Amino acid sequence: MAKEEQPIGTTGSEQDIKPVRRPVRDRTLSDRVYERIVSMIVEGEFAVGVKLPTEFVLSERLEVSRPVLRQALKQLREDGLVVSRQGSGSYVTRRPDGSVLDFAPVGSIADIQRTFEFRAAIEGEAAYLAAKRRSERDIQKMKKAFDELDRCVRANELGVEADEELHLAICDAADNRYFTTALNSMKANILTGMNLTRNLSLTKPAARLELVQAEHSDILEAIISGDAEAARVAMRLHVDNARKRVFEGS
C-alpha cells in the first residue's frame, strides 16, 4: 500500500496539532456601546446620581448582548463615570464636559483611553531609564521642549507639537530605540489624545494648563536629578491624570 503523502516540511505529529483558539471579545461593538453611554451621560440623559437602567433594559435598548454591555460598563467604571453598587445596579458618578464630544473624533474615545493606558506603562519605564542614562545633550533637548511648552501656556496656545517633542525627547534619553519606535508607531493615536486633552484644557481657566506643565516639570526634575523611581512615578501619574482629565466635568 502506498504511504500517505504529507505536506512538505511537516510530520504526522505536526499535522495533528491544532491551534488553541481563545475567545475574542468584540471590542469594536463594546467600544460603540461604551461611547453611546458616554454620549447619553454628557447630554444629560443619565444625570449624575441617577441609576442606569437594568442590564436587560439597556441591552435591549442598545440592541447588544449583555456580555457586550458588561464590557462597556466595565470600561465606564474604570474611567470613573459609573459605579456599581452590589444588589442595586450602576449609578452615574460624573458628567464629562460637553466639549469632549466636540473635540474627540467620532468613535475615538475608547481608543484614546486605551492609548493612555499603554503610554503610562511604556513612558513610565522610559522616564525611569532616562533618569539613569540621560546625557547633557538629552537634558538640553528636553529643556528646549519644556521651555517651548512654557511659552505656549503663557500665550494660551495649544502646544501639541511641543508636548509631543518633550515626550519623545524623554524616550530618546532612555537610550533604547524601542521606546521611541513604540511611540512613533502610535503617533496618530497619541496626537489625537494630546489634541483632545489640550483643547479641553484651553476651555478651562489658565490654571489647568499650568497644572499640566507642573506635572511635566516634576518629570523633568526627576530625570535631571537622576531619581529614576521618582521619574517613573511622575510620568505614570501625568499620563494617568491626562486620561482622567478627558472626563473631568465642568
Query: In the structure, what pLDDT confidence band is assigned to residue 248 with cuts at 50, 70 and 90?
Result: confident
- Cell triple for 51: 441609576
Residue-wise pLDDT tens digits, 201-236 = 988 888 889 999 999 999 999 999 999 999 999 999
| pLDDT value at residue 176 | 97
CA distance 91 to 81: 8
Collapsed DSSP state (helix, strand, coil) of residue 85 = strand
Residue 102 pLDDT greater than 60, yes or no: yes
What is the pTM assigned to this prediction?
0.79
Average pLDDT of the chain is 88
Domains of the chain: residue spans and CATH: 27-95 (1.10.10.10), 100-245 (1.20.120.530)
* Alpha carbon distance 214, 204 (integer Å): 16
160-168: long-range pairs with CB below 8 Å, 24+: 160/191, 160/194, 160/195, 160/198, 163/194, 163/198, 164/190, 164/191, 164/194, 166/142, 166/216, 166/220, 167/123
Band of pLDDT at residue 26, cut at 50, 70 and 90: low
| Mean pLDDT, range 153-181, rounded to an integer | 95
DSSP string covering 153-197: HHTT---HHHHHHHHHHHHHHTT-HHHHHHHHHTHHHHHHHHHHH
Q: Which of 5, 190, 208 is nearest to 97 (CA)?
A: 208
